Amino acid sequence: MNEAKPIGGKIWTMPFLFLTAIVILAVFFLAERFLFGLGSVTNMNDSYPWGIWIAYDVVIGTAFACGGYSMALLVYVFNKGEYHPLVRPALLASLFGYTLAGVSVIFDIGRYWQAYNIMIPSKMNFHSVLLEVALCIGTYVLVLWVEFAPAVLEKVRAERQLAKLNKVIFVFIALGVLLPSMHQSSLGTMMLAAGHKLSPLWWSKSLPMLFLISAMTIGYAVVVFESTVAALAFKRPLETGMLSKLSGLIPWLLGGYLLVRLQDINGAGLLPLAFSGGLQGNMFLLENLLLLGALLLLIYPINRSSPRMLFIAALLIMAGGGLYRLNVYLIGYDPGTGFHYFPSAPELLVTFALIAVEIMGYTWFVKRFPVLPAVKHA
Amino acid sequence: MRIRRRDFLKGVVSGTALTVLGRPELAAAAHRGRRDTPGALGILYDATLCIGCQSCVVACKKANDMPPEHSGSEGIWDNPRNLSASTMNIIKKYQHGDGRQKDDSNGYSFVKRQCMHCLEPSCVSACPVSALTKDEETGLVRYNKDNCIGCRYCQVACPFNIPKFEWDSPTPEIVKCQLCSHLLEKGGISACCSFCPTGASLFGPVSELLREANRRLHMEPGESYEFPVADISGRTPSQVQVHKAGTYVSHIYGEHEVGGTQVLYMAGVPFEKLGFPELPDESYAMISDGIQYAIYKGMIYPVAVLGGLLYMVSKRSGGDKGEK
């Protein structure tokens, strides 16, 4: 188990300073938001009550944070222990993705000081999809920290606590597979309530299933992405062997996803709408072409053994899967009031700042804590 | 052991299939309203009787203590252009063609917009903290700011885009018509109906409003009939006016839309021209509710899946240690 080692190195590098500057700017705009209301910094309005703080920070952000979920599913449920070295870095990325999604919700909700109401049983509405999503994501953030805790305990050599934690950690690993399955599908269910306001190119009773499959697929893509970027950024050997084996799974998931998608659209006679040339139709085509591109790349074993092709496929999946979610929550959503939405600069900046914190947190942890597998020097 | 694992996997697969396909028919939503209960209250708005005087808009603002909205350059009059966080009720005008004939597709029509008080309200189903609830007696959809977390899922879920949010407040609330529930509690009726001079907005029990709407649909256009004004609930003294019956489109909007609403509409112009979406009879909220309920009812599936996961993971992580 203890093959992971901190990689060491300087924390305050130039990129790190640059990211810090973004975060400081965002704090300024957030202060404005809390003093004068959401309307003072965002372009959200009564027609588009949800902007990118929900669509990106929560809906796409948690999908990009599904690496930990996908790896846990593979290693513990499908018993593929050989992928174990990929679990801890994936967990770390998930940890930041989910924690910051939770934080961003506090920026977004209007009456944040009453947020604890979701935990008061007498106030809970068990019919609400959002209640389930909120409780599940909240619990999962805690679970992720516990799942990741061994890395911290190893670092501080708290061996007794580590031994204790290792006895019960299976409970948290199991929860770590269950909870994302629940809330990732529910993120899809959530937009069923939008009904006629969501274009039929996306509104479908398959939303929960498509969100679940896409979350898993994006999870594996993110593991490939993150492992490759970490190798390049920290000048470590590429983990191509493991990644190419891992990505043999992806065509199955993508193929299944695209079949359901095509069947939904074709069955409802919506292909003409998809090719009608409007923004929604084009975004629908782009979203599916990106995923189809990844599928076509990854069905060939030769591409799966090329780090470059693997990386491109991972990017295509993240772009296509991310766009699918953006389409469901924003581009495909039109309440028909004539109003439109495009995020304001401060709104975008806050989202960038959250991504910046994720990158900074990840870098700090891998440099100081045993996360990445130790490199064996020949 | 192998067999148990396979059985478990089968369970997971079928559980997941159920999870993702959903079984809406299993749903038995508690907050589903009924309009035939005597206590269910609502409004019948008849566009053919509306003269566009905006009395209801003024009365609504006064009764609910709402600030004026200036949309003109002079900033003198309260002239809201849309529903907003300061306007819960509005009269709008549809105009087409020469715009001269009232209640004609090539003429003009007035239309009132406000909360429809759905029988199966999406906003109530969506709200995670029960800030929006359907009143057990009156069926009206009410808002409680002490529960609200400001997530705005109600706005996303409402098929009529009714709930509004105070975007410019650091302590924002959701604003929407609660049918003057504070006046109803004192035995009164909603302000918009009590100040409507022609009976275009009529307050009453929903079942009686529906009966009245059907009576109007059977009237001979151009003939004179008696029309009740303000209130048919008996809460306030009954009044009657004689009007010539208009030419109605033969559709009571809200009778079936998204499961039915307690605010009902009649007009001489097709409803989609007046800004009402064409909606299915089944509430969208019931669909997502149904899927959600089928999966999470009694938490049986999640607990079963968790049990299986615990078993598998404990074996796996035990195996890990064995390898070391």
CB-based contact A125 B30, cutoff 8 Å: no
* B25 in contact with A, Cβ within 8 Å: no
Residue B258 gets the label, from left (phi > 0), alpha (psi -120 to 50) or beta, of left
CA–CA separation, A358 vs A366, rounded Å?
Answer: 12
Rounded to 5°, angle at Cα A278 from A294 and A39: 95
Residues of chain A with Cβ-Cβ distance to B130 below 8 Å are 123-125
pLDDT of residue B81: 85
Read off the pLDDT of each residue in B79-94 and give the average, rounded to a whole number: 92
pLDDT band for B2, please (50, 70, 90 cuts): very low
Read off the pLDDT of each residue in A268-279 and give the average, rounded to a whole number: 92
Q: What is the pTM of this model?
A: 0.91
pLDDT of residue B71: 75
pLDDT of residue A95: 94
Say how many CB pairs under 8 Å bridge A and B: 218
pLDDT band for B20, please (50, 70, 90 cuts): very low
B84 three-class SS? strand
pLDDT digits (tens, 9 = 90+) for A193-229: 999 999 999 999 999 999 999 999 999 999 999 999 9
Q: Which of A50, A166, A189 is nearest residue B292 as measured by Cβ atoms?
A: A189
CB-based contact B172 A110, cutoff 8 Å: yes
- Is-contact A25 A33, C-beta < 8 A? no
Selected residue of A111, A259, A329 to mutate for chain B interface (largest B Cβ count, 10 A)? A111
pLDDT band for A266, please (50, 70, 90 cuts): very high
pLDDT digits (tens, 9 = 90+) for A83-134: 888 999 999 999 999 999 999 999 999 999 999 999 999 999 988 999 999 9
Selected residue of B84, B133, B156, B293 to mutate for chain A interface (largest A Cβ count, 10 A)? B156
CA–CA separation, A81 vs A56, rounded Å?
Answer: 33
Beta-bridge mates of residue B164: B175
**What part of B 162-181 touches A (C-beta under 8 Å)?**
164-173
Read off the pLDDT of each residue in B150-173 and give the average, rounded to a whole number: 97
Residues of chain B with Cβ-Cβ distance to A143 below 8 Å are none
User: In terms of Cα–Cα distance, which of B312, B104, B4, B107 is closest to A170?
Assistant: B312
Phi, psi dihedral angles at B175 (to 5 degrees) = -120, 130
* B1 in contact with A, Cβ within 8 Å: no
Read off the pLDDT of each residue in A248-277 and give the average, rounded to a whole number: 94
Residues 6+ apart with CB under 8 A from A211: A184, A185, A186, A187, A188, A189, A325
**Quick one: CA torsion of A313, A319, A321, A325, rounded to 10 degrees?**
180
A111 three-class SS? coil
Residue B26 pLDDT > 60: no
CA–CA separation, B116 vs B177, rounded Å?
Answer: 9
CB-based contact A173 B171, cutoff 8 Å: no
Both tokens of residue A342? 């495009």
pLDDT digits (tens, 9 = 90+) for A8-67: 889 999 999 999 999 999 999 999 999 999 999 999 999 999 999 999 999 999 999 999
- Is-contact A76 A177, C-beta < 8 A? yes
Q: Mean pLDDT score of chain B, rounded to an integer? A: 86
Q: How far is A303 from chain B (nearest CA, A)?
A: 31
Cα–Cα distances in Å, from A283 out to A267, A286, A356?
20, 5, 27
- Is-contact A341 A71, C-beta < 8 A? no
Place of tokens 């300061």: B86
Residue B22 pLDDT > 60: no
Selected residue of A41, A127, A143 to mutate for chain B interface (largest B Cβ count, 10 A)? A127
Residue A312 pLDDT > 80: yes
pLDDT band for B289, please (50, 70, 90 cuts): confident
Read off the pLDDT of each residue in A281-294 and give the average, rounded to a whole number: 97
Task: Give the HSE-up count for residue B123: Cα atoms under 13 Å, Cβ half-sphere.
Answer: 30
CA A232 to chain centre: 22
Residues 6+ apart with CB under 8 A from A242: A82, A83, A85, A86
For chain B, the structural domain boundaries read: 2-29+297-319, 41-282
CA–CA separation, A181 vs A183, rounded Å?
Answer: 6
Residue B121 pLDDT > 80: yes
CA–CA separation, B108 vs B268, rounded Å?
Answer: 9
Cα–Cα distances in Å, from B299 out to A132, A134, A364?
11, 16, 39
Axis-axis angle for helices A307-326, A250-267 (nearest 10): 30
pLDDT of residue B33: 61
Residue B182 pLDDT > 80: yes
Q: How far is A10 from chain B (nearest CA, A)?
A: 33
Burial B170-195 (b: 16+ CB within 10 A, else e): eebbbbbbbbbbebbeeebbbbbbbb
Cα–Cα distances in Å, from B84 out to A193, A196, B122?
22, 21, 19
Mark out the alpha helices in chain A (DSSP H runs).
Answer: 14-36, 52-54, 61-64, 67-72, 84-108, 129-155, 159-190, 207-233, 240-246, 250-267, 271-274, 279-298, 301-304, 307-326, 345-368
Instruction: Work out whether the CA dihedral A96, A99, A103, A109 comes out positive or negative.
Output: positive
pLDDT of residue A71: 93
Residue B21 pLDDT > 50: no
Cα–Cα distances in Å, from B73 out to A272, B70, B77?
45, 8, 10
Q: Which of A130, A174, A192 is nearest residue B153 as measured by Cβ atoms?
A: A130
pLDDT digits (tens, 9 = 90+) for B225-271: 999 999 999 999 889 999 999 999 999 999 999 999 999 999 999 99
CB-based contact A181 B150, cutoff 8 Å: no
Note the CATH number of domain A14-368: 1.20.1630.10
A373 three-class SS? strand
Instruction: Work out whether the CA dihedral B209, B214, B217, B223 comes out positive or negative.
Output: negative
Residue B23 pLDDT > 70: no
Closest CA in chain B for residue A81: B320
Note the CATH number of domain B41-282: 3.30.70.20
Q: What is the per-residue DSSP string for B216-256?
A: HHTSPTTSEEEEEESBSSSSS--EEEEEE-----S--BTSS
